[in-house]
Chain A
Amino acid sequence: NAGVTQTPKFQVLKTGQSMTLQCAQDMNHNSMYWYRQDPGMGLRLIYYSASEGTTDKGEVPNGYNVSRLNKREFSLRLESAAPSQTSVYFCASSVRGRVTEAFFGQGTRLTVV
């Protein structure tokens, strides 16, 4: 029972490098989300996709892009990584836009040096 799968689990990037974080869910959920979590702060929404074919900005979208590849997959891309993007990134999914319960992936610990 995989649920939400994120890759990679850990990543170190140099400033200016790019990378894509992958996320896939097997629960047939319509909505998917990307969050970042920094020490002492709540989860902050980067982007979300209420349904296949749609994406919207969240609270902190600058420096990121997303792609809802299909119903299962939602990727997050850092085009030019900056030290301020050092964080733990979580992908989540839920049944529909009116969130009842969000299920999370295990997280990606990203360090930008």
Chain B
Amino acid sequence: DAGVIQSPRHEVTEMGQEVTLRCKPISGHDYLFWYRQTMMRGLELLIYFNNNVPIDDSGMPEDRFSAKMPNASFSTLKIQPSEPRDSAVYFCASSLWTGGAYEQYFGPGTRLTVT
């Protein structure tokens, strides 16, 4: 399996522009997670889906952030309009619920820079 795929790997944009981050989870996984990593706040969960349905979006910072999962093999995280404080590494992770301490598999991340 190719693992979790994220695109782009790097994104540089100007303040006010719309940014869309993409994620393809591991085939067969039923959970998908979006995390943000910054020096100040560390790794924090933004939102997660189960069977394409958003379950917990309490970590989404504000209305400028939105996430969708139109099917089991694709998810997007959109920021509109972007601001310099959104600069971070955004990770997508997927997992298959098996009960117990199952693993979340992370993608390589997208480094977003907003100037």
| A, B: real partners | no
